[in-house]
Amino acid sequence: MSSAMQQLYQQVILDHSRQRSGYGELDQPQGESFQVNPTCGDECRVQVRLDGRRLGQLGWTGRGCSISQASLSIMHEMLEGESIDDAEELGELFRELMHARGKELEPQKQEQLEDLSAFTGVAQYPARIKCALLGWMALRDAIIQAQHG
């Protein structure tokens, strides 16, 4: 494998795409969102239950490539139990990373991204950015729904 591919498919991405954290439906979601990537037909459904201003429970289902699955899995690992504000901040940061065309963000931001920093290489491939972001679009929607729905 070339170094470009090794940078893209870092071990943490491959691992998460196989061992998907948080995969499954919630019992009584307060908010949920279904998103499709029309280019490939990949889909995901993200469900949340709030606990005050926290993401009490976060679950997801769907199908997609290793990038999209790992992104959802890491999202679950990093955000379940965390505050909505933290979720929004992390989402913003991840979107920023995805539009950085493969460049790293400032060290402090990169640190804040934790495992998500493994996606730095994805941003070099315009067609894959949507894969990485699909779950995060769904999360944002699901939270809004849970808050106002």
Q: Which residues bind other proteins (CB under 8 A)?
A: 1-2, 4-5, 8-9, 14, 36, 38-42, 63-67, 69, 125-128, 131
End-to-end CA distance of the chain: give it in Å, rounded.
Answer: 47
Q: Are 30 and 149 in contact (CB under 8 A)?
A: yes
Among the listed residues 38, 80, 75, 78, the one whose alpha carbon sits nearest the alpha carbon of residue 58 = 80
Output 43 or 82, the one with its CB closest to other proteins. 43
Q: How many CB atoms lie within 10 A of CB 10?
A: 18
By beta-carbon proximity to other proteins, the closer residue of 7 and 21 is 7
In the complex, minimum distance from the CB of residue 39 to other proteins, in angstroms, rounded to a whole number: 6
- CB 2, min distance to other proteins, A: 5
- The residue among 75 and 90 lying less far from other proteins, judged by its C-beta, is 75
60 vs 76: CA distance, rounded Å: 8
CB of 41 to other proteins, least distance (A): 5
